[in-house]
């Protein structure tokens, strides 16, 4: 399989770092990332992430600014692809944009929105726990 435009392989390895950009202050506290940061979009039923760890920080910020698309960029939650898979989710490359991936496989129960929300929050809590302390960019 040829590499993606970014040069990364199409398959996302368990050991890869993923960054979920924090564009809302309600997605984190100083010492922890909140589960709401990981909940899927209702539009595509997935969570957008970048295939990048905390270093180099400037490159991470550049990717974050592009991903934020004009929204405030507070920081990033860094976790491993294996953390998503341990939560029963999938991680799939999704370029463009460069280094983009989607966390998919979230529970979706149209007939019972409350149950759906509880199931999604449980998985999001696993990701938030794995991410630990957010990497905040400051002003």
The pLDDT score that the predictor gives to residue 74 is 95
Q: Is the pTM of this model over 0.85?
A: yes
Q: Rounded distance, CA 118 to CA 59, Å?
A: 35
Q: Cβ–Cβ contacts within 10 Å for residue 107, how many?
A: 17
pLDDT tens per residue, the chain (139 residues)?
678 999 999 999 999 999 999 999 999 998 999 999 999 999 999 999 999 987 888 999 999 999 998 899 999 999 999 999 999 999 999 999 999 999 999 999 999 999 999 999 999 999 999 999 999 987 5
Q: State residue 1's pLDDT score.
A: 66
> Which pLDDT score is estimated for 55?
84
Partnered with residue 101 across adjacent β-strands are 49, 93
């Amino acid at each position: 399989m040829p590499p993606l435009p970014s040069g990364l392989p199409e398959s996302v390895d368990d050991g890869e770092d993923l960054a979920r950009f924090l564009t809302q202050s309600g997605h984190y506290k100083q010492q922890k990332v909140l589960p709401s940061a990981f909940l899927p979009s209702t539009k595509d039923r997935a969570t957008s992430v970048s295939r990048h760890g905390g270093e180099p920080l400037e490159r991470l910020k550049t990717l974050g600014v592009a991903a934020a698309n004009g929204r405030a960029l507070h920081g990033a939650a860094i976790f491993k692809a294996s953390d998503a898979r341990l939560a029963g989710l999938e991680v799939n490359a999704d370029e463009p944009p460069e280094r983009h991936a989607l966390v998919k496989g979230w529970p979706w129960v149209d007939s019972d929105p409350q149950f759906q929300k509880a199931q999604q929050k449980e998985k999001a809590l696993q990701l938030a726990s794995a991410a630990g302390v957010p990497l905040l960019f400051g002003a």
